[in-house]
Amino acid sequence: MTDIATAFYTPLLWTGESDEVLRDVTLICEQGMLVEITAGRSPNATDLGNAAIIPPLVNAHCHLEFSQLKQPFVTNRPFPKWIGETMRTRRENQDVSAAIRAGIEESARVSVGFLADVKTQPVGCYPQTGDNQPEVILFQEVIGLTDEAVTNQKEQISAFVQESGSSRFGLSPHAPFTVRPDLLEHCVQLSQDMGIPLMMHLAETKAELELLTEGTGELVDMLSQFGMWSADMYPSGTRPLDLLKVLSHAPRVLLAHGNYLDEQEIQFLAEHPQMHIVYCPRTHHYFGHTQHPWQSMLEAGVNVAIGTDGRGSNPDLSIWNEVRFLKQQFPDVEPRRLLEMATINGAKSLGMETTIQIGRPANWTLLVLRNSEAKLMTSLQDLCQAEVLTTGPWI
Ligand SMILES: [Zn+2]
């Protein structure tokens, strides 16, 4: 954006604030801020063509380091085997910076405005993102089951916190089966002290529930093989709810997946609005899990965002493709709910408010529609069903 006022004419605008679709409007921006929305096409406005403007698409859970993969791993189960594939890929990747750059460029092409990434690599592997590229919010991955690993991780966390300075960032204690409870407590404490968010994979697989409750199953077998399982890590009968209680002391928490959270746990989330679910629809489908409770979560009042996860389980990093997938799988769902999950709910999980309003930054996603469709659209239902030729670049 320049200092000079810039105007954009669009046949369709959804601000994210209601069910209403505004037709034939001009958005006037000054110094990167939206200053006016006027009816009709203003003289000198740039015509965006057959396009719709919506709040920025948000990818609330990703692993950019796997973005060089052309397709998801052939092996999707058992889960420990899939984890083995990710570890092998990480080991064999000669140029992780290129993979991360490819993921950011892909995300820019599909008009993602904000992206939350689980960071396992040095900050130097991430390029500076420019105009029309997503803001990448790094969540330092934390994994530690042994005394040595826990000590080492605490040092790494301190170094990351210092180098992150004033940028938006967080910590990602990986999952219940890779983070010892005292290390999780440490992350929660730091999160409280510094006012930073946490992201954790939780209730992702049935094997994880079995590990917590019984101390048995394929994940226990995997950890035992590496000599990292300790039978007293969790008392018998531990549930995701017990971890939710620990995490609820953090000021903001993104829970990746939550595939197997039960009614009581969903109710707990509803009572703790600082806790957000990041549902990854196509990744969920890839693993063949039983139906995800996202609709019950929304009904209970839980904020549900959308993520892609990494390309080890998803064919691309497009959030719009997640919306289209959900629309096909759940044709009766209110379209506004899907659009909210893909945009403003994701922003909320990252501590931001991104509805399109006068006086706010002029950040939005542009959906380029198939010829002549934009003129015919009157509802969000139409928009959700539209064939989008391309998304972006986001303005
Ligand atoms: Zn993940």
pLDDT of residue 13: 95
Cα–Cα distance between 105 and 112 in angstroms, integer? 10
State which H helix or E strand residue 226 sits in.
none
pLDDT of residue 4: 65
pLDDT of residue 1: 41
pLDDT of residue 390: 65
Distances in whole angstroms, Cα of residue 334 to Cα of each of 225, 253, 256, 298, 379:
47, 26, 23, 12, 11
Long-range contacts of 96-102 (CB under 8 A, 24+ apart): 96/65, 96/121, 96/125, 97/121, 97/124, 97/125, 97/126, 97/127, 98/68, 99/64, 99/65, 99/66, 99/67, 99/68, 100/64, 100/65, 100/67, 100/125, 100/126, 100/127, 101/127, 102/67, 102/68
Cα–Cα distance between 27 and 35 in angstroms, integer? 8
Which CATH class for the 6-55+355-391 domain?
mainly beta
Token couple for 238 = 């531990």
pLDDT of residue 32: 86
List, in order, residues 6 or more apart from 368 with CB less than 8 Å away. Answer: 49, 50, 51, 388, 389, 390, 391
Ligand 1: distance of its center to the CA of 201 in Å? 6
What letter represents residue 388's amino acid?
Answer: V
pLDDT of residue 322: 96
Ligand 1: distance of its center to the CA of 39 in Å? 43
pLDDT of residue 130: 80
Question: Residues of CATH 2.30.40.10 domain(s) within the chain?
Answer: 6-55+355-391
360, 27 contact by CB (below 8 A)? no
Ligand 1: distance of its center to the CA of 117 in Å? 9
Domain 57-349 in CATH 3.20.20.140? The answer is: yes
Phi and psi (nearest 5°) for 161? -60, -40
Ligand 1: distance of its center to the CA of 85 in Å? 14
pLDDT in tens, the chain (395 residues): 445 679 999 999 999 999 999 999 999 999 889 999 999 999 889 998 888 999 999 999 999 999 999 999 998 889 999 999 999 999 999 999 999 999 999 999 888 999 999 999 999 999 988 878 899 999 999 999 999 999 999 999 999 998 887 789 999 999 999 999 999 999 999 999 999 999 999 999 999 999 999 999 999 999 999 999 999 999 999 999 999 999 999 999 999 999 999 999 999 999 999 999 999 999 999 999 999 999 999 999 999 999 999 999 999 999 999 999 999 999 999 999 999 999 999 999 999 999 999 999 888 888 888 765 777 777 888 888 776 766 655 55
Token couple for 203 = 């209730």
Ligand 1: distance of its center to the CA of 377 in Å? 36
Ligand 1: distance of its center to the CA of 209 in Å? 17
Question: Residues of CATH 3.20.20.140 domain(s) within the chain?
Answer: 57-349
pLDDT of residue 370: 73
Give burial (CB, 10 Å; 0-12/13-18/19+) of 136. buried
Query: For 334-358, what is the HEC assignment?
Result: CHHHHHHHHCHHHHHHCCCCCCCCC
Q: Tell me: the pLDDT tens digits for 49-64?
A: 888 999 999 999 999 9
Token couple for 378 = 């009157």
Ligand 1: distance of its center to the CA of 24 in Å? 40
**How far from the centroid of its chain's Cα atoms is residue 162's Cα?**
24
In this structure, is the dihedral angle defined by the CA atoms of residues 37, 38, 40 and 43, taken in order, positive or negative? Answer: negative
Token couple for 73 = 């791993």
